[in-house]
Amino acid sequence: MQQIAQITDFSALPGLHWQENGQLSLSGSLLRLYKKIDQKILSFIPDIIFDEQQFSPFISAEQLHKLDYLHGFPHLITMPVTLDSSQASLQAFTAAPLNENGNLNLTNIAPCREVLTPAACYHFYEKQSDTELNGPCYLTTLCTCFRRESAYHPLTRQWAFSMREFVCLGTQEEVQEFLQRFEKALNSYFQKQLWPVIFEQATDPFFNPLVNAKYVVQKLEPVKREMIYAGNVAIGSFNFHRTFFGERFNIRRQGEAVFSACVAFGLERWLYAVLATCGPDEKDWQI
């Protein structure tokens, strides 16, 4: 197993511009590495043809409400807020747009009906609503996702981050085979690259075990497994949803609610894993 490179300040790497509010931009060799990582992830299951789609950064709050997301994750939600378009509201704002702390002095707010995407795969279930599938459906997308946190760290915990997701909709057997094939391919890759990654059962850390029954369900019957790099950074996850999304969005297969699963990859965290394993010198990077 490779030694973890001693990089103490990822924000100081050339080509990485870090903002303390949890956002970053990439350029140069780091941007090229980011793109290579995505291409590598896309190659893990070469014989499955994934329908790649692109989505808006907005998702309907009404659709998220179907998933209980607004109840379960209120602390993570980021909303695109706009001002009321009345002349009085706009004039009041322009008279003093910022306070002494640099915060916006928001006047009347227009109705807010969208949320910035918290997870890439949610778009697929909305799009497949009220459909009958003739066979297994394989989908992929790369989205910028938004989750508000109490603290941020470059590459490992960000307000805005990139998520590559693969989704399978089908029978239970089709969905479980999809997960097994991905795990086998990834396990082989991590061993070849000598990455210190283990697959670990997980419950969603954002569920409150005192008030949310989903936490208990995940404990009793695991549905999520994470790829843990170096014992502390989840660089991806396997998520078996059973028929939850099929039921909520009326997606059917053979007359019944479909099973679904997704495999999710945080691209910035994969970038972190390459740098932590190989060091900051581009000539040493291996993908």
Predicted confidence at residue 73, as pLDDT, reads: 87
DSSP β-bridge partners for residue 170: 259
**Which residue shows structure tokens 């109490």?**
150
pLDDT exceeds 80 at position 138: yes
Same domain for 193 and 234, yes or no, is yes
CATH number at residue 132: 3.30.930.10
pLDDT, tens digit (0-9, with 9 covering 90-100), for 101-133: 999 999 899 999 999 999 999 999 999 999 999
pLDDT, tens digit (0-9, with 9 covering 90-100), for 32-46: 999 999 999 999 999
Same domain for 137 and 242, yes or no, is yes
DSSP β-bridge partners for residue 213: none
Same domain for 92 and 221, yes or no, is no
Given a contact cutoff of 8 angstroms between Cβ atoms, the answer to whether 167 and 127 are in contact is: no
Predicted confidence at residue 12, as pLDDT, reads: 87
Given a contact cutoff of 8 angstroms between Cβ atoms, the answer to whether 235 and 197 are in contact is: yes
pLDDT, tens digit (0-9, with 9 covering 90-100), for 183-211: 999 999 999 999 999 999 876 544 444 55
Q: How far apart are alpha carbons 35 and 53 in whole angstroms?
A: 17
Predicted confidence at residue 11, as pLDDT, reads: 84
Domain residues for 58? Answer: 10-78+118-284
Predicted confidence at residue 212, as pLDDT, reads: 60
Same domain for 34 and 144, yes or no, is yes
Q: Are strands 51-53 and 137-146 parallel, antiparallel or unpaired?
A: parallel
Mean of the per-residue pLDDT values for the chain? Answer: 90
Q: What's the mean pLDDT in 164-172?
A: 97
Predicted confidence at residue 218, as pLDDT, reads: 44
Q: What is the total count of domains within the chain?
A: 2
Same domain for 38 and 92, yes or no, is no
Q: Checking phi first, is residue 230 left (phi over 0); if not, alpha (psi -120 to 50) or beta?
A: left
Predicted confidence at residue 6, as pLDDT, reads: 60
Predicted confidence at residue 24, as pLDDT, reads: 95
Q: What are phi and psi of 108, to 5 degrees?
A: -65, 135
Predicted confidence at residue 7, as pLDDT, reads: 72
Tell me the Cα Rg of the chain: 21
Model confidence, pTM: 0.90
Q: Which position has the higher pLDDT, 149 or 9?
A: 149
Report the share of the chain in percent with pLDDT over 70.
91
Predicted confidence at residue 205, as pLDDT, reads: 46
Closest to 71 (Cα-Cα) out of 262, 206, 177, 251: 206
Same domain for 57 and 124, yes or no, is yes
Decide if 128 is inside a domain: yes
Beta strands in the chain (DSSP E): 16-19, 23-26, 51-53, 58-60, 114-116, 131-133, 137-146, 160-170, 197-202, 224-229, 233-242, 251-253, 256-257, 259-266
Same domain for 94 and 182, yes or no, is no
Predicted confidence at residue 72, as pLDDT, reads: 83
pLDDT, tens digit (0-9, with 9 covering 90-100), for 76-86: 999 999 999 99
Given a contact cutoff of 8 angstroms between Cβ atoms, the answer to whether 165 and 121 are in contact is: yes
pLDDT exceeds 60 at position 213: no
Same domain for 218 and 164, yes or no, is yes
Given a contact cutoff of 8 angstroms between Cβ atoms, the answer to whether 144 and 162 are in contact is: yes
